[in-house]
Amino acid sequence: MQKRLLGRSGLEVSAIGLGCMGLNHSYGLPTEKSAAIGLIRTAVERGVTFFDTAEVYGPYINEEVVGEALAPVRERVVIASKFGFRIGDPARGVDSRPEHIRTVVEASLKRLRTDRIDLLYQHRVDPAVPIEDVAGAVKDLIGAGKVRHFGLSEAGAQTIRRAHAVQPVTALQSEYSLWWREPETSVLPMLEELGIGFVPFSPLGRGFLTGAIDAQTPFVAGDFRNTVPRFSVENRKINAGLVDALGRIAAGKGITRAQIALAWLLAQKPWMAPIPGTAQLHHLEENLGAVSITLTADDLSAIESALRQNKIVGERYPAYMQQRIDR
């Protein structure tokens, strides 16, 4: 497995990490605990060193699973977690008060079976708490040895600059993929300037870019995609154009759509490490295979042409979540 440094922080991670959220949160039925632990440990065997979780996933259960899975190999891996939602429930709003951050970290450390969190993100910006206070609280936790690095998730450029002035930000985690490229103009140039790494989540478009989802695909009750405008039946019909185009490019190289999508991300910046999620071993193997794929200039040109010809429609979040995005 290739390794990458997240910006100028010195934090080294596998080029592709594992987003653990979907093992028991947001995407339908949860994975049975022993199977989830087995998948995470297999990822370690395959060279993955970067694992992403959060208190809100479950809530709480995901950190427990990740902690149990990684306890035997703790010194070999980087664990990222997040704070910022009230009582672990995003529907009840955000909460990044310093006292709340400290409480969350103590609880997360116990669930993760560790004495430090390698990368601690603010999950969403809290408009009621100055980002300087948030950064200061994390700085204190770093000083106490309970956190190693500070991260932000879905934060805007000005917020990142203000936080970075108090406590250097190691990484920004935000959605970025072939069907959501807004970070290219909003934050990536600034991240490069400041030496901050980038961790794309949903790099496979919540499964859509793999070609496994079409307009007729049903989602079980509780699946987050039931609420996402981009996944309405009509929008899926339109958005299938890009997936079809990626399929033709992938077939020409003897690889899969998922591998094209991940290889494209890896080709964007050397300080970028995507975290695709999966509950299936064969999908894990497929995703990790993208690390060894080199896209030529002609490949990248063909992908850009497909993107120009197939505009994606539909918001990426339901309305109540759109309102929380930091600009």
Q: Note the pLDDT of residue 111.
A: 98
pLDDT in tens, 63-79: 999 999 999 999 999 99
Does the pLDDT at position 89 exceed 70? no
Q: Where are the beta strands (DSSP E) in 191-289?
A: 197-201
Whether 80 maps to a domain, the answer reads yes
Whether residue 213 lies inside any domain: the answer is: no
Average pLDDT over the chain, rounded to whole? Answer: 95
Residue 10 lies in a domain: yes
Token output for 155 = 């934060």
How is residue 170 written in tokens? 């190691």
Instruction: Please state, for a pLDDT cut of 70, what percent of the chain lies above it.
Output: 98
Q: Residue 59 domain-assigned?
A: yes
- Rounded to whole angstroms, how far apart are CA atoms 301 and 291? 20
Please check whether residue 288 lies inside any domain of the structure.
yes
pLDDT at 92: 75
Q: Which residues form the domain of 82? A: 3-205+264-293
- Sequence-distant (6+) residues with CB within 8 A of 167 are 135, 136, 138, 139, 142, 150
Query: Of 23-37, 113-127, 141-155, 235-249, where does mean pLDDT reach its minimum?
Result: 23-37
Average pLDDT over residues 134-157: 98
Query: Mean per-residue pLDDT for 106-116?
Result: 98
Residue 322 lies in a domain: no
Q: Which pLDDT value is given to residue 88? A: 52
With respect to residue 251, please indicate whether it lies within any of the assigned structural domains. no
pLDDT of 90 over the 70 cut: no
Out of 27, 57, 121, 176, pick the active-site residue.
57
Q: What is the pLDDT at residue 321?
A: 81
Q: 19-28, 153-162, 232-241, 298-307: lowest mean pLDDT where?
A: 19-28
pLDDT at 320: 78
- Within-domain flag for 239: no
In whole angstroms, what is the distance from residue 317 CA to residue 319 CA? 6
Strands (E), the chain: 3-5, 12-14, 18-19, 50-52, 78-83, 117-122, 147-153, 169-175, 197-201
Percent share of the chain, pLDDT over 90: 91
Q: Residue 121 catalytic?
A: no
How many domains would you assign to the chain?
A: 1
pLDDT of residue 121: 98
pLDDT, tens digit, for every residue of 224-250? 999 999 999 999 999 999 999 999 999
CATH number for position 32: 3.20.20.100
Among 32-41, 87-96, 171-180, the minimum mean pLDDT is found in 87-96
Please state the length of the chain: 327
248-256: average pLDDT: 96
Count of Cβ atoms closer than 10 Å to residue 134 Cβ: 26
Residue appearing with tokens 């993760």: 112
3-state secondary structure (DSSP) of residue 90: helix
